[in-house]
Structure 1
Amino acid sequence: MDEFLLRRIPIQLGGLQDPFTPLERENGVTLQILKVLAEENYPTLISTKGDIFLQDEYLDQLTKMNLVFRLSASGVSEHLRPKIDRRADSFPRVLEKISILRSTGIKVALRIQPVIPSFEEVALDMASQAANAGVHQVSFEYLKLPSEEIRHAMAGMKTSSGGNLIEWMSELGLKKVGPDWSLKPAAKEPFVVRARKHCHRLGIKFGAGDTEFIPWSDGNGCCGSSDLVLDGKQFDANFVGAIRQATASPDKAVRFQSLAERWIPTFSVGNYMDYRSRVPKAFVEGSSDWLVMLQRRWNGGKSPYSPAFFHGISSTDEKDELGFTVYDAKQLAAALR
C-alpha cells in the first residue's frame, strides 16, 4: 500500500461499500476522509447510489478534490427499476445528480449495471441521456446471478418481449465464474461492440464492466473510469496493461516482460499478504517470490484468470526464458479497430 500511495495510484471509495449510506449522516466518516484526500490532492474515484454528497458541506469538499465521481443505475425500463433495486433512484433523478455535479466542474461517470439481456436498447438510450447531461464516461456490466436465492427472486422476471428472463439467459448460454453465473462472453460480445461504438459516437469514453471485456475499455482500470482522474498515475502493471500494450505491438504478443518492466513490488510477498497459500516454501524472500506467484497466475495453473481469460486473447505453446506463457492478442486487436 505504501508503494501505491507514493506512486499516487488512484484509490476508490465505494468499490465494495457505498460511502454515502444513511449511516454517514450520523458519523460523518466519509466527510473526514474527503477532507484528507482534498488536502493531499490525491487522485480518487468515488462510486455511489446515495445522495448525501449533494449537501453543501460535501460538495464543498468534492469541488476541491482531484476526482471522478461515478453514479450507478440499472439498465432496465423505469417501471422495472424498483424490482431490480428497491432503493435505486429513478433515472431522471440520476440525471439530475449528474447535472448538479457537472455544474460544479466535477468529472462524472455513469455505471449501467446490471444490463438485463433483451433490455440492451434501454441501456444505450440511458447512455445517450447521460452524455447529454455531461458525463465523461459510461460503463456497462451485464446481469450476474450470484446465488440460487437471487435466481429464485428473479424467476418471474420477463424479457422485454414477455419471455422468461432466466430461461432466455440459459438459452443464450451461461457461464459460472467463482460464485456468479452470467452470460458467456460470446453472448455478450455483440452488445459490447455496439456499446463501445455508441459511446464513441456520443463523444464519451467507454467502459466494459464485465471482467472478460475490461481490455475493451478505453482505460486500464476497472470499467475504465480511473483514467479520468486528472492528476494521477494510471496503474497498468497488470494483465490488462500488458494486453493493451500487445494490441498496439507489431506481433500482438502478450508477454510477461511488458508487465514486469512496469512495476514489481520491492519487498517479498510476505510483506503484503499471507504467502503460505500462494508461494512454495522455497521462495519466500526477496522479489523472486513474486515471480513464482505471478507465473502460477499468468500461466493458468489453478486459477482461471490468466490473460487467456480475457475475451479475444488466446494461449500459445511459446514460453519466454523464465517459463511464462506468451499469449496472442490478434483477435482482440482486430475487434478494437
Structure 2
Amino acid sequence: MSELNSTVIKEAKRWMLENKGTSIKEDTGFYCSPRISSEIVDCSMPMTFDHYNFCSLGCIYCFAYVFKSNNPSVKEQVGLQPVNWKKQIAAMEGKTKRGRGSLFYKHFYEKRFLLHWGGLADPFCNFESKNSVGLKLIRALGHNSYPTLFSFKGDTIFKAPYIKTFEHYAHQQNFAFQISIITNSDELSQKVEIGVPNTSRRLEAMKLLSDMGYYTILRLRPFIIGVSEEGLDELLDRSYRAGARGVSMEFFAMDSRANLGMRKRHEWLAQIIGVDNLEEYFRILSPSERGGYMRLNRLVKEAYVRQVYEFCIKHGMVFACSDPDFKELNTSGSCCAMPDNFEKNPELQNWTRSQLTYHVKEARKAYHKNGELRDFYFGEVYGNESYLDEVGFASDHVSTVGEPTAIVNIRTQRNILQDKWNNLRSPANPRNYLHGKVMPISTLDKEGNLVYRYNPSEYEGRWVKEGVDLTK
C-alpha cells in the first residue's frame, strides 16, 4: 500500500471511528431540514431531508464532504446536530403556524408530496445507531402513512426496532428505498467506501425490504468508471433477484473547488481507477460549457448507460439516469427511478413533473414514436408549482449569497430558474446542462423567454438500427 493510500484510508477510518459512537449533546442545537434541493432544474423531489447535519460514513467520493468541508461555518470539530424531531412531526401534521415548518406544510406536506430522505447524509448511518432520532420520525411517517423515499447504504436498518417498524407498516406501501451500491465487488467497495457495509450486505437489505413488499431501487451512484463496470452485469442481476424494480445511475463528477483533503481523495481514486491525474483526466474529457463541476462527456459514458438501459428494458424495470447526459433515456420522469404509476399506493408517484427530466424523457418518446420534435417552454416545463414562488425558499439556493437584501427579499426559486434558462453562458442553462440535447430556436415565448427544441443524438439512430427500443 502506498503512503498516499495509507494516509487517505487512515483519515477516512478516523472520521468513521470517531463518529461511530457520537451522542447528541444537550447544548448542540438543531439542524435545519428539510430544504429545497439545489437540483430543482431537473429534480422530481425538490423537498430533500436529512435528520443529522453530516454523515458518519467515510466514502472517498462523497460530494457532501466537498460542500461541507468548503463551508466556512463548518469548523474542524463539527458538532453533531439532529433535527428537532418533535417540531418536524408537528410541521408535517400541520400544527406549525409560522416559520419554515408552516411553509413546507403549505407547499408539500398538505399535498402529501413525496419526501426524499437522504440527501447530504445517510438515514441509517452510525449516528442513527447511537441516537435513534430517525426511528421516531419513521414511526410518525408510518403512523401518518406519509409517502417517503429513503436513500441509504448504512446498516442500522438491520436493527430489530427498525425491522419491526417497517414490517408493521408494510401493508401501507408508503415507503420506498434506494440502496446505494457502486460496484459488484465486496473488496472494491471496501476500498472506496470506508466504514460502509459491503455490497453483499447492502443487497441483503434490498431483499429484506423487497420481501416485505416495498418498492426498492438499485442506486448505482456514483458510477465510477474504473470501479463500477467490474461485474456490472452480475450486480444488475443480483439486484433484480433481490427485488429491485428500478435502477438509478449517475456518473462520478468532480468539483474544481475541491480543497486539499478532497484532492488527496482524488489522488487515491486515480490509483484505483488507473489514471495518473484524475483532475486532468476529467478536465480533458468534460465539456467546458458545464463550468467548474466537471462531468465526463457522453462518448465516455455511452456503453455503460446502454448496458444498464437494456437490462432494465429486458427485465421490466424502471431505468433512470440522474446524470444530465442520457437523461432523455429515463423511462420514468423521476431520475431516482420512482415509478410514473404505482397502483399499490399512488402517493408514491406524487412527485413533480415540473422539471427537465420529465420533459426531456417525454420529448425523446415523442420523437421515437412519431417523429415529433418537441419544443420546451419555460412556463410548461416548470408549471404552476407553488413552492417556486415562495420567497422564503429562495435563500436555500447558493445563488442568493452576496445579493443585496432588497433583491433577496423578493427573489424566488422561479426567478433563479428563469435567469438560468435565459442565460446561454450559465452551466445550468438547458442547452449547456444537457450538453446540446435541447437547443435554442429563434422563437421567444410571450414572456420573452428562450424556447428550446429536442435535438436527437447520433447514438439514438444507431441504437435503434441495432435493435434497441427507445419508445419506452
Is the shorter-chain TM-score for this pair beyond 0.5, marking a shared fold? yes
Question: For the structure 1 residues 178 and 15, does the alpha-carbon distance in structure 2 shift closer, same or farther, using more than 3 Å as the test?
Answer: farther
Question: For the structure 1 residues 111 and 130, does the alpha-carbon distance in structure 2 shift closer, same or farther, using more than 3 Å as the test?
Answer: same
Counterpart of 1:9, as a letter, is: F
Match of 1:150 among 250, 255, 265: 265
- CA–CA distance in 2 between the matches of 1:116 and 1:165? 15
Higher relative contact order (CA 8 A, sep 6+): 2
Match of 1:129 among 238, 250, 257: 238
3-state SS of 2:108 partner = helix
Question: Is 119-128 or 242-251 further displaced after alignment?
Answer: 242-251
Q: Superposition pairs for residues 30-179 of structure 1, below 5 Å?
A: 30-63=134-167, 64=169, 66-75=174-183, 77-118=185-226, 119-120=228-229, 122-146=231-255, 147=258, 148-159=263-274, 166=278, 169=281, 173-175=285-287, 177=290
Question: For the structure 1 residues 284 and 173, does the alpha-carbon distance in structure 2 shift closer, same or farther, using more than 3 Å as the test?
Answer: same
The TM-score, its normalising length taken from structure 2, stands at 0.62
Question: Is 288-297 or 107-116 further displaced after alignment?
Answer: 288-297
User: Number of residue pairs matched?
Assistant: 331
Measured after TM superposition, the shift of residue 179 of structure 1 is 5.5
* Structure 1 unaligned spans of 5+: none
Measured after TM superposition, the shift of residue 334 of structure 1 is 8.3
| Cross-structure match for 2:449 | 324
| Cross-structure match for 1:251 | 373
3-state SS of 2:353 partner = coil
Counterpart of 1:306, as a letter, is: N
- CA–CA distance in 1 between the matches of 2:402 and 2:353? 26
- CA–CA distance in 2 between the matches of 1:113 and 1:165? 22
- CA–CA distance in 2 between the matches of 1:82 and 1:200? 30
Q: Identity of paired residues, percent?
A: 22
2:353 is equivalent to residue 236 of structure 1: yes
2:430 is equivalent to residue 307 of structure 1: yes
Question: For the structure 1 residues 30 and 276, does the alpha-carbon distance in structure 2 shift closer, same or farther, using more than 3 Å as the test?
Answer: closer
The TM-score, its normalising length taken from structure 1, stands at 0.84
2:311 is equivalent to residue 198 of structure 1: yes
Aligned partners of 2:225 and 2:273 also within 8 Å: no
**1:29-76 CA distance string (max 9 Å, x none):** 101111111122111100111122122321232241501111111226
Counterpart of 1:93, as a letter, is: R
Counterpart of 2:254, as a letter, is: L
3-state SS of 1:303 partner = coil
Match of 1:186 among 299, 309, 314: 299
| CA RMSD, Structure 1 to Structure 2 (Å) | 3.3
Measured after TM superposition, the shift of residue 139 of structure 1 is 1.7
Question: Is 27-36 or 6-15 further displaced after alignment?
Answer: 6-15
3-state SS of 2:116 partner = strand
Question: For the structure 1 residues 136 and 279, does the alpha-carbon distance in structure 2 shift closer, same or farther, using more than 3 Å as the test?
Answer: farther
Counterpart of 1:315, as a letter, is: P
Measured after TM superposition, the shift of residue 150 of structure 1 is 2.3
**1:181-216 CA distance string (max 9 Å, x none):** 331233223321332112111221112132344342
Aligned partners of 1:9 and 1:234 also within 8 Å: yes
Question: For the structure 1 residues 209 and 88, does the alpha-carbon distance in structure 2 shift closer, same or farther, using more than 3 Å as the test?
Answer: farther
Question: For the structure 1 residues 66 and 50, does the alpha-carbon distance in structure 2 shift closer, same or farther, using more than 3 Å as the test?
Answer: same
| Cross-structure match for 2:61 | none
| Cross-structure match for 2:418 | 295
Aligned partners of 2:184 and 2:199 also within 8 Å: no
Question: For the structure 1 residues 182 and 295, does the alpha-carbon distance in structure 2 shift closer, same or farther, using more than 3 Å as the test?
Answer: closer
**1:8-38 CA distance string (max 9 Å, x none):** 2211111211011222123211011111111
Counterpart of 2:268, as a letter, is: A
- CA–CA distance in 1 between the matches of 2:337 and 2:247? 9
Question: For the structure 1 residues 107 and 268, does the alpha-carbon distance in structure 2 shift closer, same or farther, using more than 3 Å as the test?
Answer: closer
* Structure 2 unaligned spans of 5+: 1-103, 367-371, 461-469
Aligned partners of 1:247 and 1:332 also within 8 Å: no
- CA–CA distance in 2 between the matches of 1:293 and 1:48? 30
